[in-house]
């Protein structure tokens, strides 16, 4: 059989071309680049992953102090998925294709800052309103600066003065002690009134073991309370 030299040359060229292409494809591929933030600062220790298609084999590396990275892919196929991540930044994904005859692909990744959005918080509160003190025996502060109902701090007194009304008045802000007794608004002791269980009391002290408390009220602006212009101790 007579062979056609032209056809044989074409077959040889095709075989050589396929061999060169296979040899070129068998060379390791390299994917390299630099990882920076959106402001241009280098990101070190960023995680760089390359997924090889179609085998799904993964090759990994980390960026150096200058943000540069370099991965060598031994089982080169030409089709890859590049994934770069760093703490505090959004992930970077890109498909990378290396054509036959090439072996290096350069991909520079710029990572955006991952800002966490916090939902708006709305706080509502009502202004506290002081209790009315008119005609009440609650012991709480009144509604104005001169109307104060304060329990006597008995434990702050020595035992011999524990039940003394004048001594307890000396512990109340706004009241002062005089030679005749305690004074409110600079008035004499005769402007005060003392009560015990709601009834007038003329004594200067109550028994120390009595289960009661003493309150000093000055100028309550309460028409139901009268008989004093200084302070009421009761």
* Cβ atoms within 10 Å, residue 54: 7
On the CB side of 223, CA atoms within 13 Å amount to 0
Q: Is 18 exposed, middle or buried (0-12, 13-18, 19+ CB in 10 A)?
A: exposed
Which pLDDT score, from 0 to 100, does residue 110 have? 94
For the segment 158-167, the average pLDDT, to the nearest whole number, is 77
Domain ranges of the chain: 28-111, 149-233
Reference 98, options 19, 28, 22, 17; nearest CA is 28
Q: Could you give the CA distance from residue 32 to residue 70 in angstroms, rounded to a whole number?
A: 4
Q: Is the pLDDT of residue 4 over 50?
A: yes
Q: Is the pLDDT of residue 149 over 60?
A: no
Which pLDDT score, from 0 to 100, does residue 5 have? 60
Reference 177, options 159, 192, 198, 156; nearest CA is 192
Q: At 22, list the tokens.
A: 């296979």
For the segment 219-231, the average pLDDT, to the nearest whole number, is 69
Q: What is the pLDDT of residues 179-224, one digit of tens each?
A: 778 888 778 778 788 888 778 877 777 777 777 777 777 766 666 6
Reference 220, options 131, 138, 170, 146; nearest CA is 146
CATH classification of 28-111, choosing from 3.40.50.280, 2.60.40.1120, 1.10.287.130, 3.20.140.10? 2.60.40.1120
Alpha helix (H) ranges present in 120-216? 165-169
Q: Is the pLDDT of residue 161 over 70?
A: yes
- The pTM score is 0.43
Q: Which residues, other chains included, contact 3 with Cβ-Cβ below 8 Å and sequence gap of 6+?
A: none
Which pLDDT score, from 0 to 100, does residue 144 have? 45
């Amino acid at each position: 059989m007579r062979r056609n030299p032209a056809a044989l040359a074409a077959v040889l060229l095709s075989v050589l071309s396929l061999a060169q292409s296979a040899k070129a494809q068998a060379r390791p591929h390299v994917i390299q680049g630099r990882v920076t933030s959106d402001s241009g600062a280098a990101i070190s220790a960023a995680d760089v992953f390359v997924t090889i298609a179609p085998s799904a084999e993964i090759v990994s590396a980390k960026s150096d102090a200058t943000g540069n990275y370099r991965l060598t892919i031994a089982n080169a196929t030409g089709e890859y998925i590049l994934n770069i991540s760093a703490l505090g930044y959004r992930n970077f994904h890109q498909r990378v294709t290396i054509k036959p005859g090439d072996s290096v692909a350069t991909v520079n990744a710029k990572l955006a800052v991952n800002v966490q959005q916090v939902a708006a918080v709305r706080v509502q509160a009502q202004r506290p309103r002081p209790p009315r003190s008119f005609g009440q025996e609650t012991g709480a502060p009144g509604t104005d600066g001169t109307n104060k109902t304060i329990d006597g701090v008995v434990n702050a007194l020595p035992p011999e003065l524990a039940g003394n009304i004048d001594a307890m008045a000396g512990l109340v802000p706004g009241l002062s002690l005089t030679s005749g007794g305690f004074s409110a608004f600079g008035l004499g002791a005769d402007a005060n009134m003392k009560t015990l269980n709601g009834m007038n009391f003329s004594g200067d002290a109550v028994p120390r073991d009595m289960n009661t408390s003493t309150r000093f009220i000055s100028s309550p602006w309460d028409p139901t309370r009268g008989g004093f212009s200084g302070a009421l101790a009761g």
